[in-house]
């Protein structure tokens, strides 16, 4: 009888305790540029009140688990993160040929890319956990190019971070047009971002008067933050390679970067 009473008391005690805080992640449907989009939004419910929001733009493979993983990581840091869908209907590519087609379709039409990005941004701003005046964006590969393009266009972002992203553009920034602080992480041995392209990007940023920093990792190739890069590289004979050290360092620097840009708004 004593054991039963103790068990009932313990059960009752536990029932009165608040649920353990955890990451709340869910798929979210929204529309933009005349298409349906399937994103993923995440936040940690141990943080109370409104907080900054961070947009995550996927690689050229499309909105997948990797983008969602980064959204969860941002949620653990105290932000609400939205992994957006730039292709529509959650479309993903399983081959570089398809990925290239999907990415080019968006990249070649700046107005369309902006409309899709803004649809995601407005969806994030409307979330009950988000302070709509504190929004940043990060992107990988294709997504890195997207967030840099949005910064060039003067989108109201506190900052953007590009990881092994596309640096070239047909629409260079105009002097005074960039409001976001910019952080670029690139591999020194990435053939998709050769030294000449990195230098051209720096020159463009200098002329535009941008507040930016480029972090280049010696010996590091394309897609260095994605653990699946080695597999993709071998499968499709592409110069892709994961680099755990560069991945960790770039994420640590991004965490500091986000704290810096949002602290500056207070």
Domains of the chain in sequence order: 21-263 (3.40.50.1820)
236-256 in b/e burial notation, b at 16+ Cβ within 10 A? eebebbbbeebbeebbeebee
pLDDT recorded at residue 196: 96
pLDDT tens-place string over residues 196-236: 999 999 999 999 999 999 999 999 999 999 999 999 999 99
The average pLDDT across 66-90 equals 97
* Residue 24 region by backbone torsions, left for phi larger than 0, else alpha for psi between -120 and 50, else beta: beta
Beta bridge partners of residue 37, listed in sequence order: 30
pLDDT recorded at residue 14: 40
Percent of the chain with pLDDT over 70: 91
pLDDT at 9 over 50: no
Q: Helix, strand or coil for residue 239?
A: coil
pTM above 0.85, yes or no: yes
> What Å distances lie between residue 119 and 64, 92, 234, CA to CA?
18, 19, 36
Query: Sorting pLDDT into bands at 50, 70 and 90, what band is 1?
Result: low
Q: What are phi and psi of 158, to 5 degrees?
A: -70, -35
pLDDT recorded at residue 22: 86
Contact 184, 162 (CB under 8 A): yes
Strand runs labelled E in 101-194 = 130-140, 159-163, 181-187
pLDDT recorded at residue 11: 47
CA dist 205 and 201 (Å) reads 6
User: Hey, what long-range contacts does 16-20 have (CB within 8 A, 24 or more apart)?
Assistant: none
pLDDT recorded at residue 266: 65
Contact 106, 113 (CB under 8 A): yes
Query: Sorting pLDDT into bands at 50, 70 and 90, what band is 2?
Result: low
Q: What are phi and psi of 161, to 5 degrees?
A: -130, 130
Across the chain, mean pLDDT equals 92
pLDDT tens-place string over residues 50-70: 999 999 999 999 999 999 999
| DSSP for residue 102 | H
């Amino acid at each position: 009888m004593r054991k039963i009473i103790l068990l009932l008391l313990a059960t009752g005690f536990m029932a009165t305790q608040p649920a353990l805080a955890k990451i709340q992640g869910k798929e979210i449907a929204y529309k933009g540029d005349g298409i349906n989009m399937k994103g993923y939004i995440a936040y940690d419910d141990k943080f109370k009140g409104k907080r900054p929001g961070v947009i995550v733009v996927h690689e050229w493979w499309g909105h997948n688990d990797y983008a969602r993983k980064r959204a969860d990581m941002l949620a653990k840091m105290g932000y609400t993160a939205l992994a957006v869908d730039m292709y529509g209907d959650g479309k993903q590519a399983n081959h570089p040929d398809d990925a290239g087609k999907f990415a080019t379709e968006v990249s070649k039409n700046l107005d369309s890319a902006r409309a899709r990005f803004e649809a995601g941004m407005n969806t994030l701003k409307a979330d009950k956990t988000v302070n709509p005046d504190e929004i940043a964006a990060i992107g990988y590969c294709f997504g890195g190019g997207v967030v840099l393009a949005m910064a060039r266009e003067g989108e109201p972002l506190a900052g953007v971070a590009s990881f092994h992203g596309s640096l070239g553009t047909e629409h260079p920034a105009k002097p005074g047009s960039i409001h976001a602080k910019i952080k670029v992480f690139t591999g020194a041995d990435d053939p998709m971002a050769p030294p000449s392209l990195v230098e051209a990007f720096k020159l463009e940023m200098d002329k535009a008067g941008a507040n930016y920093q480029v972090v280049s990792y010696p010996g590091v190739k394309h897609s260095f933050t994605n653990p699946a890069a080695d597999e993709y590289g071998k499968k499709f004979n592409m110069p892709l390679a994961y680099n755990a050290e560069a991945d960790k360092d770039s994420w640590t620097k991004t965490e500091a970067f986000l704290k810096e840009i949002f602290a500056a708004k207070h």
